[in-house]
Amino acid sequence: MALANCDRCGKLFNKTTRGICPNCVREEEQVFEEIKAYIRANDAATIEDVASAIGVDEELVLHYLQEGRLEITESLAYPCLNCGKSIKIGKYCKTCLEELESSMFGVASELKKKLDTKKATGAYFSQRDDFKKR
Ligand SMILES: [Zn+2]
Ligand SMILES: [Zn+2]
């Protein structure tokens, strides 16, 4: 067993798979249950409402929503990290996820942009000719 400082409260504890101590795990679970109960009782609550009612950061509420562990009402929908469309599960909307998965997105389009720039300066083609000669 290795001793480590809890990521949340800084106390020393016997490190488990999580970076926080058993005390904080229990507290987090409690907060999670409170958030869940609040959402059940207030189905028009927004993320801000929940955060201020429970006394936690909006980011924590968002984190739980993204994990998909909470029932999400219309008012709790949050923006897709890529296009900003309202979503209720995960970090991206379905469309963006599909694009990400088909890998024609992000790295690939960045690469294409670079190639297009090179093409415009002629560098791209001369490089390719060199390649063919070899
Ligand atoms: Zn702790
Ligand atoms: Zn999206």
Kindly compute the dihedral angle of the four CA atoms of residues 50, 93, 83, 62, in this order, to the nearest 10 degrees: 20
pLDDT score for 77: 93
Give the type of residue at 6: C
Rounded distance from Cα 78 to ligand 1 centre (Å)? 29
pLDDT score for 106: 54
Rounded distance from Cα 58 to ligand 1 centre (Å)? 20
pLDDT score for 117: 66
Q: What is the pLDDT along the chain (134 residues), one digit of tens a residue?
A: 689 999 999 999 998 778 899 999 999 999 999 999 999 999 899 999 999 999 999 999 999 999 888 888 889 999 999 999 999 989 999 999 998 888 654 565 666 666 666 655 554 444 455 555 55
Which ligand places an atom closest to the C-alpha of 105? 2
Distance CA 133, CA 62 (A): 55
Rounded distance from Cα 55 to ligand 1 centre (Å)? 18
* pTM of the entire predicted model: 0.65
Which ligand places an atom closest to the C-alpha of 10? 1
pLDDT score for 113: 67
